[in-house]
Amino acid sequence: MRNTMIVARRELGGYFATPVAVVFIVIFLALQGVLTFNLGNFFDRNQADLAPFFNFVPWVFLLLVPAITMRLWAEERRLGTIELLLTLPITQGQAVLGKFLAAWAFCAIALALTFPFVITVNFLGKPDNGVIATGYLGALLVAGAFLSIGSALSAATKNQVIAFVLAVAVCFLFAVASYPLVTDFLSKTVPTLAEVARRLSVAERFQGFTRGVISLRDLIYFASFIGFWLYLNTVIVEHRKAD
Amino acid sequence: MACGGLRAAACNTPALLYLPARTALRGGTNVPADSKAPLIEIEGLTKRFGAFTAVDRVSFTVARGEVLGFLGPNGAGKSTTMRMLAGFMTPTSGTARICGHDVQTDSVAARRTLGFLPEGAPTYPEMTVEAFLAFVAAIRGYGGKEAGRRIARAIELTTLAGVRLQPVETLSKGFKRRVGLAQALLHDPPVLVLDEPTDGLDPNQKHEVRALIQLMAPEKAIVISTHILEEVGAICTRAIIIARGTILADETPAELEKRHPSGKLDDVFRAITQPAPKAA
């Protein structure tokens, strides 16, 4: 665990040593603001909650999270620093987990900086702050799920653009798996898969959190989802590191 | 902690004891009969990429006090062998051990006793020299004053004091190489594997790095790869010439020189590595 945290701290420092951190956070906050207040009809709804805000979070993450993860491993491989990192006395699992935790902590920072939304809604009305808290927890878990996908795919290539596009595509699949677009198609062709797709959907799992429900099932889902992709990440690193 | 057993014990023995052994090696004799196990043991190491065999059944050992020069044309398999030795690349077959630890099955323990400078001396470009070394020190398990002492020593050995607080990406090639070297020396490891440590350095820096390697040589087992043949005569106690993945010669520089009438390593190198040329 010590080594994992050292790797994570270095990685997180890396975000703030480059313009990556500022660009990401500014774009994230701007997008969330525009989407919540304009597209989400925050004011016209006349309801004291952050539902419009949370509705858009998975979609903004879908676009921005792969931008964080694309460099995680692809850049290490391009610069050759992976050879340095993985010949230090740490295991590959520690390196994978460390990098993931750094990216996750970074997303948490970005989410925390949306606090003015919470202040605004509390200023205008009397929202259920418990629901807002579970919404944030759900948003963080969605970020973690997308990050684990992006991190694993970043290890599969030296090219950051490919890593980004692949990650967006796969994240999109898991985001829309519960949408009629997919489930209707699947129930007509392979009905058994439709149910599986719905259960695997990140967006579907997130819905519970936005309604203020934290169910053990959803927590287990996110934990095993992230665990699976990070395991895959370790396997990919092991096989592709020296290519 | 990482070390156990007889071989590992050899890693921790004070360096000065082995000075005579090195002098003996300089004279061209073999490792003394009472010798402890070699710090680097490579047996039948093979790496294939598809149908291409990059490294073909390479075996050698390096004892404390030896500086092994690893020579060969580009693409001969030098870096691949070093990567497998460092546990970065998985060999197709064969084994490599550092201080008795197998680099595949006991890799973290092996890497604790290894200082490795990868090809091209990669470092994180956005970090300052000091922050980068602090990161490596932390991973190596040093904290507080001990870390500060080790970083200061590594910076002093590689004369990086002037650029301590500069981001690595702003440094010249020679400085970057020395940052890579500082990282490899930080924990004063018994085994050093340096892939082209003097590449890109100016003549003065080359001289300094060679002097540094010679200074450390008595207490360590060192493998360096190089294209500069004069370097081999100057600092190596032994040289291995590798081409097309196979070891073609494993001798002292003095013995190698005798292989060609001119007595020059350049001529010997060409004669050995070029496939059957017409004699000039």
pLDDT attached to residue B17:
35
pLDDT attached to residue B278:
53
**Of A188-192, B201-205, B272-276, highest mean pLDDT:** B201-205
Task: Using the Cα atoms of residue B138, residue B210, residue B205 and residue B242 in order, give the sign of their dihedral.
Answer: negative
* pTM score, whole prediction: 0.87
Question: Which amino acid is it at B205?
Answer: Q
pLDDT attached to residue A48:
80
Q: Which of B70, B116, B84, B54 is nearest to B227 (CA)?
A: B70
Phi-psi category of residue B194: left, alpha or beta, with phi > 0 → left and psi -120 to 50 → alpha: beta
pLDDT attached to residue B15:
39
In angstroms, the CA B158 to CA B41 distance is 28
Q: Count of alpha carbons within 13 Å of A189, Cβ hemisphere only?
A: 7
Angle at B10 between CA B251 and CA A91, to 5 degrees: 95
- Do B127 and A13 lie within an 8 Å CB cutoff? yes
The yes-or-no verdict on residue B23 having pLDDT over 80 is no
Q: What letter does residue B277 receive in the DSSP assignment?
A: P
- Do A90 and B83 lie within an 8 Å CB cutoff? no
Asked if residue B94 lies in contact with residue B45, where contact means CB atoms within 8 angstroms, the answer is yes
pLDDT attached to residue B36:
64
Query: Given A81, A90, A242, which is nearest B83 (Cβ)?
Result: A242
Kindly state the average pLDDT of the residues B101-115: 93
In angstroms, the CA A56 to CA A114 distance is 13
Q: C-alpha B181: how far from its chain's center? A: 11
Which residues of A lie inside 8 Å of B (Cβ-Cβ)? 3, 6-7, 10, 13-14, 17-18, 79-81, 83-84, 86-91, 241-242
- Residues in contact with B217: Cβ distance below 8 Å, sequence separation at least 6, in sequence order: B22, B65, B66, B67, B235, B237
In the numeric block, the tokens 């300089």 are attached to B26
Strand order in the sheet with B191-195: B114-117, B191-195, B221-225, B67-71, B238-243, B246-251
In angstroms, the CA A64 to CA A25 distance is 10
In angstroms, the CA B122 to CA B120 distance is 6
Q: Confidence class of residue B276 from pLDDT cuts 50, 70 and 90?
A: low
**Pairing of β B221-225 and β B191-195:** parallel
CB atoms within 10 A of CB B31: 17
pLDDT attached to residue A177:
84
- Please report, for residues B72, B80, B137, B223, the alpha-carbon distance to residue B228 in angstroms, rounded to integers and kept in the order given: 10, 19, 31, 14
Angle between helices A216-240 and A92-112 (to 10 degrees): 130
CB atoms within 10 A of CB A143: 23
In the numeric block, the tokens 């370097």 are attached to B231
Asked if residue A214 lies in contact with residue A140, where contact means CB atoms within 8 angstroms, the answer is no
The yes-or-no verdict on residue B35 having pLDDT over 60 is no
| Residue B88: both structure tokens together | 């970065």
Query: Given B87, B109, B123, which is nearest A81 (Cβ)?
Result: B123
pLDDT tens track for B52-102: 999 999 999 999 999 999 998 888 889 999 999 999 999 999 999 999 999
The yes-or-no verdict on residue B113 having pLDDT over 90 is yes
pLDDT attached to residue A182:
78
Which residues on chain A are in Cβ contact (under 8 Å) with B90?
242
| Residue B163: both structure tokens together | 């650029």
In angstroms, the CA A139 to CA A54 distance is 7
pLDDT attached to residue B274:
81
Q: Confidence class of residue B220 from pLDDT cuts 50, 70 and 90?
A: very high
Query: Given A6, A89, A242, which is nearest B108 (Cβ)?
Result: A89
Element (H, E) at A196: helix A191-200
CB atoms within 10 A of CB A57: 26
| Residue B181: both structure tokens together | 């070297």
pLDDT attached to residue A188:
83
- Residues in contact with B240: Cβ distance below 8 Å, sequence separation at least 6, in sequence order: B60, B68, B69, B70, B71, B247, B249, B250
pLDDT attached to residue B102:
94
Q: A114 vs chain B: nearest CA distance in angstroms?
A: 28
> What is the tally of helices (H) and strands (E) in chain B?
11, 10
DSSP A83-121: HHHTTSS--HHHHHHHHHHHHHHHHHHHHHTTHHHHHHH
CB atoms within 10 A of CB B110: 25
User: Digits of tens for pLDDT over chain A (243 positions)?
Assistant: 899 999 999 999 999 988 889 999 999 999 999 998 888 888 888 788 888 899 899 999 999 999 999 999 999 999 999 999 999 999 999 999 999 999 999 999 999 999 999 999 999 889 999 999 999 999 999 999 999 999 999 999 989 999 999 999 999 989 888 888 777 888 888 888 888 888 888 888 999 999 999 999 999 999 999 999 999 999 999 988 877
Q: B113 vs chain A: nearest CA distance in angstroms?
A: 9
Q: What is the ipTM of this complex?
A: 0.88
Q: Which site among A11, A88, A90, A236 would you substitute to test the B interface, given the most B Cβ atoms closer than 10 Å to its Cβ?
A: A88
Ramachandran angles phi, psi of A49, nearest 5°: -150, 175
In angstroms, the CA A39 to CA A41 distance is 6
Q: What letter does residue B279 receive in the DSSP assignment?
A: P
> What is the tally of helices (H) and strands (E) in chain A?
12, 0
Query: Given A18, A83, A91, which is nearest B108 (Cβ)?
Result: A91
- Do B139 and A90 lie within an 8 Å CB cutoff? yes
- Please report, for residues B209, B224, B231, the alpha-carbon distance to residue B21 in angstroms, rounded to integers and kept in the order given: 23, 20, 22
